Amino acid sequence: MPRSQLMTMFVFLIILLHIALVSSSNLRPGYYSKSCPEAESIVRDVMKRALVREPRSVASVMRFQFHDCFVNGCDGSMLLDDTPTMLGEKLSLSNINSLRSYEVVDEIKEALEEKCPDVVSCADIIIMASRDAVALTGGPDWEVRLGRLDSLTASQEDADNIMPSPRANATTLIDLFDRFNLSVKDLVALSGSHSIGEGRCFSIMFRLYNQSGTGKPDPAINPMFREELYNLCPLDVDQNVTGNLDATPTLFDNQYFKDLVAGRGFLNSDETLFTFPRTSKFVRLYSKDQNEFFRDFVEGMLKMGDLQSGRPGEIRKNCRVANSVTVDHLVAEPQNRMESNHKSI
C-alpha cells in the first residue's frame, strides 16, 4: 500500500479513536430546564405535526442521529449546506438521495429560536427529535442527555470514509461499531431503527440481480419476498422508488427482527444480521422479546449520543449555516456554555 494511503488510514483511525474517547460528562438530562424550559416539548410538538403531515418524515429524522454522530461526533455537521469553500455531508455517498426531511429540523429550530434565541443547539435537536420519532410511533420513550455544541464545518470526505453501505456485511458493521465502543448487541439493537421507514430500490438492486457478482439474487431472500421485490424494483425501475423496511413501516416494534428471521430483510445490511452467527442470536432474541429490544435500543441510542469530537463549536441560529466565526459565537469548551446557560437564568 502506498505510504500516502497508509498515512490517510492512520489519521482516520486517530480521529475515530478521539471521537470515541472524548468525555460526555458535560451532557446531562434537563440541560435546558432553566435556559429554555419548553425546549423538549417544542421539539415534540413539531414532530407530532410532521408525523401527521407525512408519517415517513419522522423515520427520516430519526436516521439523522446515526448519520450525525458517526461522523466526527454528534455535532449537527450533517445539517450544514455546502458553501463555496466547504463540501458538506448532505451529498456524501450514504446521504445523497437518501437522507430527507431536513425541513422538519428547520421548523423545530425556528420554533426554538422564537422562544429561546441562541440557546438550543442543532446537534441537540437531532437527539431530541430522534427520540421523539421513536416514541411517537409506538416505541420506547427515554430521557436524553443534552448540552452539545454545533460544529463549525462539515466534511463530505469524512462521511464517505465512515458511513457504511447498504451492501455492508455483518463483519464490516461489527468492526465499524467497535471503533466507537459500540458492541455487537448495540449494532443489532440500533439496526432496529429500520422498524420504521422506507428504503430505495437503488439500495437493493445488487441483492436482487447480482449478489456478490454472481448474476443471481441473494439466496437469503425468502422466495415469496423476492417476488415482491422484483415487482417493486424491476431492472428498469426508477431506483428512487421506495419500499417498506419491514411489514409495519409506521410502527416502531420488533416486526423488523421477525422479518429478518423469515428472510424478509429489505437491505443486505439488515439480513446479514440474521445470517451471521455473532449477530443472529440477538436477532432471534429481539424477534421474540420486544421489551428486551426496546431496552437495548435505548441503551444504544444513549451511548451513540455521547460521541463527541471535542472540537470547538457554537449554537447555530440556522441549522443549515454556521454562524459568522466571531468571539461571541465560538465556545472552545462545553463548560463555558454551561456557565453562560446559568448566567441567562
Question: Which residues are part of the catalytic machinery?
Answer: 67
Nearest to 129 by CA among 5, 63, 43: 43
Q: Which amino acid makes up residue 92?
A: S
Query: Residue 213: which residues within 8 A CB-CB, separation 6 or more?
Result: none
Nearest by Cα to 311 from 186, 158, 129? 158
DSSP state of 242: E
Q: Could you tell me how many residues make up the chain? A: 345
Contacts within 8 Å (CB) and 24+ apart, 277-284 = 278/170, 278/174, 278/184, 279/170, 279/174, 279/184, 279/187, 279/188, 282/184, 282/185, 282/188, 282/189, 283/188, 283/257, 284/257
Measured CA to CA, the distance from residue 150 to residue 155 in angstroms comes to 14
Residues 316 and 322: their CA atoms lie apart, in Å, by: 6
Concatenated DSSP letters for 247-309? S-TTS-SSHHHHHHHTT--SSHHHHHHHHSHHHHHHHHHHHH-HHHHHHHHHHHHHHHHT---
d(C-alpha 158, C-alpha 321), whole Å: 19
d(CA 313, CA 315): 7
Q: Cα(17)–Cα(82) distance, rounded to whole angstroms?
A: 27
Residue 113's φ and ψ, nearest 5 degrees, are -65, -35
Are 256 and 147 in contact by the 8 Å Cβ rule? The answer is no
